[in-house]
Chain A
Amino acid sequence: MLYDKIQLIIKRLMLAVPTLFGVLVISFCLTRALPGDPAVYFAGAMADEASIQHVREKLGLDRSLPYQFLAYCNNLLNGELGQSLTTGQSVTYEIKARLPASLELTLLGLFMGLLIAIPLGILAALKPNTWIDHLCRVLVTAGASTPIFFSGLFLMFVFYYLLGWSPSPIGRLDFIYLEPPHVTGFYTIDALIIGDYEVFKAAFAQLLLPASTLALCALAPIARMTRSSMITALESEYVKAAKANGISTNMRVYVYALQNASLPLLTVIGLVFGFLLGGNVLVEKVYSWPGIGSFAIDALVASDYAAIQGFVLIMAVLFVTLNLIIDILYTLFDPRMGRNE
């Protein structure tokens, strides 16, 4: 059994290889499909003829495409994503510095979404076609229909402008506070590590609005999936049989049905994470959040291609990794996996 599972996990890891390869090919194509001479873009605006030539050789633009691809992969392996035009730093450096800010935001958003959506979905599934189910349906559909930049601005208007509950919605930390020393890069966690609750509270307050915006966007698919897979499980024959055998309601709902329903839920969480990574870009713009999303937008405006490609690649790698983790969890939790392949 255990041996089977390990084999399956290895298989999953192997299956991710062609996907990653495909991701590399696409992002390579994105670098080479640029209008005009890529070397000019990658060398930067200040470059003279000599440095452009240098870049051209380094990227192997004078060589065959397969060679160029290998050179591209080689550069990636060395952590080289090129120079950013806008900041003058290497793209790798920029992404490393900004990634924790984005992740902190996205993960909190996802967590808040799960916290609200799962009970909501279960509630709706337990009382289908009652007012609570309809309310859930309307809320969820409205959540799925709201453009993320709109809900972000709306929350900002209500909680900052009208009510004044939220701190100034700009950046990760109000300027009166000092950044906590870098350990994880998550301000809230770093502040807790040194025991500075003031900074923690300030950082958390800054996080709350943008994270809620993301949570609103995550709500819909999670609640919908919880509801439908719970209903499927509750109407299944094994739950009916358990009822006929006098198994208690709590056991039926929270053990029999929920266990089965949580498997499809796991898949949806992966999907939602992808949503949030995209939505992150918009939220970061609205809240001037110094993550990789706002970095990418600045890069877009300045036609800073190396930065954009680095951003797209990193996002894809993040997403593939998360989906891989979910696949592995699924393999571990579902006894049926690997048996009837």
Chain B
Amino acid sequence: MNSQTIKQDNIAQQLRFLVGQNLLSSISLILFGVYVFLALAGPYLVPYDPLESNTAIALQGPSSQHFFGTDHLGRDVFSRVIVATRLDLGIAVAAVSISFFIGTFLGALAGYYGGWYERLIGRLADIVLAFPLFVLAMGIVAVMGNSLINVIYATAIINIPFYIRIARAEVSLQRDRQYVQAALLSGNSHFRTLFFHILPNCLPNLIVQISINMGWAILNAAGLSFIGLGVRPPVAEWGILVAEGADYIISGQWWLVLFPGLVLMLAVFTFNLVGDTLRDLADPQKRK
């Protein structure tokens, strides 16, 4: 019980310290909160139905009625951008959780037991990483079928190797530390030692990876839907919104691309900065 409160105290203190130190970190944490809020409550907040078209007001620039303007069918871009938050973050969260659990499990076992098993897992990760990842994701979705769930699977598969590598490296580093031997001497089984003693000590770096991966996953999913894979119109999704606006950029209707693009970029930016902040928290030495 006591240990728990001390730890939390520490993290809270460190957090306060970091926020005081670095303006960017605090901005990123606020933005993170905003995105989570939008993902949860977005659909109840928007002024218009994101799917309701009205050709009479098509392609109008930003105004007090339509903050982000309207698209070629007269739909309210603002509402569509906000509503899309849940879908985009949802895809990323689902994909990253899958890759985190599978990758960490495989990587931790590889790092702990070593030997042929480690080589096999390492090889598998290498083979996946031998593909340019976005290209592999395209191939997977193309073959498994053009659907949302397959976009999630593809995004998960291409991220698994990173968790394998980090978990393997971290665990094999920790495995040589003496507290691991002490745990074994205290009667912990290898399984228990790995998952209850070693893994918690690897968690900080894994969490940093999760945050950075969230950014990648969002980019990846948006990229796939930009080229017509996964989510399909008329569903509102950031990548699709940009793709729909792309045809109008040369004729000067910039708002169709700018607003969804900016919101998407800001989301990724937020996750990257949160990742940086967490990295500082996990290892203050790394960024002096």
Interface centre among A137, A153, A315 (most CB of B within 10 A): A153
Whether the Cβ atoms of B242 and A150 lie closer than 8 Å is: yes
The interface size of chain B toward A, counting residues with CB under 8 Å, comes to 51
Query: Contacts of A281 on B, CB cut-off 8 Å?
Result: 134-135, 138, 227
- Report the separation of the CA atoms of residues A139 and B82 in the bound assembly, to the nearest whole angstrom: 26
Instruction: Kindly provide the distance from the CB of B229 to the nearest chain A CB, expressed in whole angstroms.
Output: 7
Interface presence of A138 (CB below 8 A): yes
Q: Is A95 an interface residue (CB 8 A)?
A: no
| Chain B residues near A (Cβ < 8 Å) | 24, 123-124, 126-136, 138-140, 142-145, 215, 219, 222-223, 226-229, 239, 242-243, 245-246, 249-250, 252, 254, 257-258, 261, 264-266, 268-269, 272-273, 276, 286, 288
Decide yes or no whether A172 CB sits under 8 A from chain B. no
CB distance from A213 to the nearest CB of B (A): 13
Contact B226 A138 (CB under 8 A): no
Asked whether A277 lies within 8 Å of B135 as measured between CB atoms, the reply is yes
Complex-state Cα separation, A128 to B286, whole angstroms: 12
Q: Does A22 contact B (CB under 8 A)?
A: yes
A19 within 8 Å of B by Cβ? yes
In the complex, whether A285 has a CB less than 8 A from a CB of chain B is yes
Question: Contact between B229 and A316 (Cβ–Cβ < 8 Å)?
Answer: no
**Would A231 and B135 be within 8 Å (CB), given that A30-B143, A157-B249, A161-B249 are in contact?**
no
Q: Counting CB contacts under 8 A, is A122 at the interface? A: no
Nearest CB of chain A from residue B256's CB, rounded to whole Å? 10
**11 A-B pairs in the complex with CB atoms less than 8 angstroms apart:** A22-B126, A129-B288, A150-B261, A153-B242, A153-B261, A285-B226, A296-B138, A300-B229, A303-B142, A308-B138, A312-B138
Cβ of A286 under 8 Å from chain B = yes
Q: Kindly identify which residue among B142, B249, B288 contacts A300, using a CB–CB cutoff of 8 Å.
A: B142
CA–CA, A278 and B139, complex, Å: 11
Check if B272 sits within 8 Å of A275, measured CB to CB: no
A149 touches B242 (CB 8 A): yes
Given A22-B123, A26-B128, A300-B142; 18 other pairs, CB 8 A cutoff: A23-B130, A23-B131, A145-B272, A147-B223, A147-B226, A149-B226, A149-B243, A150-B257, A161-B250, A274-B129, A277-B135, A278-B132, A278-B135, A285-B226, A297-B227, A312-B136, A315-B131, A316-B136
Interface residues in A241-275 (C-beta closer than 8 Å to B): 274-275
Q: Is residue A144 within 8 Å, beta carbon to beta carbon, of the partner chain?
A: yes
Residue of B nearest to A168 (CB): B250
Q: Which A residue sits closest to B132, measured CB to CB?
A: A277
Q: Which among B24, B246, B286 has the highest number of chain A CB atoms within 10 Å?
A: B246
Nearest 3 CB-CB pairings of A with B: A278-B134, A22-B127, A150-B261
The answer for the CA separation of A101 and B228 in the assembled complex, in Å, is: 23
Say yes or no for A282: interface residue by CB 8 A criterion: yes
Decide: B143 and A33 in contact? CB cutoff 8 A. Answer: yes
Contact among B132, B143, B245 with A275 in the assembled complex (CB-CB below 8 Å) = B132
Residues on the A chain within 8 Å of B133, using CB = 274, 278
Q: State A69–B140 Cα separation when bound (angstroms).
A: 19
Q: Is the CB of A138 within 8 A of B138?
A: no
**Distance (whole angstroms) from the CB of B10 to the closest CB of chain A:** 24
Q: Does A97 contact B (CB under 8 A)?
A: no
Q: How far is the CB of B159 from chain A (nearest CB, A)?
A: 13
- Look across to chain A and name the residue whose beta carbon is closest to the beta carbon of B133: A278
Chain A residue numbers with a CB within 8 Å of B257 are 150, 153-154, 157
| Distance from B118 Cβ to chain A, minimum over Cβ atoms (Å) | 15
Contact residues in A for B145 (Cβ distance below 8 Å): 35
Q: Does A183 contact B (CB under 8 A)?
A: no
Given A30-B139, A141-B273, A285-B227, are A319 and B249 neighbors across the interface (CB < 8 Å)? no
Partner among B124, B250, B254, B265 whose Cβ is within 8 Å of the Cβ of A147: B265
Q: Which of A300-315 contact B (CB under 8 A)?
A: 300-301, 303, 305, 308-309, 311-312, 315
CA distance A270 to B135 in the complex (A): 16
Q: Is A279 an interface residue (CB 8 A)?
A: yes
Within 8 A of B (CB), among A143-184: 144-150, 153-154, 156-157, 160-161, 169
A292 (CB) vs chain B CBs: closest residue: B135
- CB pair B242–A34 under 8 Å, yes or no, is no
Query: What are the residues of chain B within 8 A of A128 when measuring CB–CB?
Result: 288
Which residues on the A side are within 8 Å of B132 (C-beta)? 274-275, 277-278, 315-316, 319
- Which A-chain residue is minimally distant from B243 (CB atoms)? A149
Is there an interface contact between B144 and A33, defined as CB atoms closer than 8 Å?
A: yes
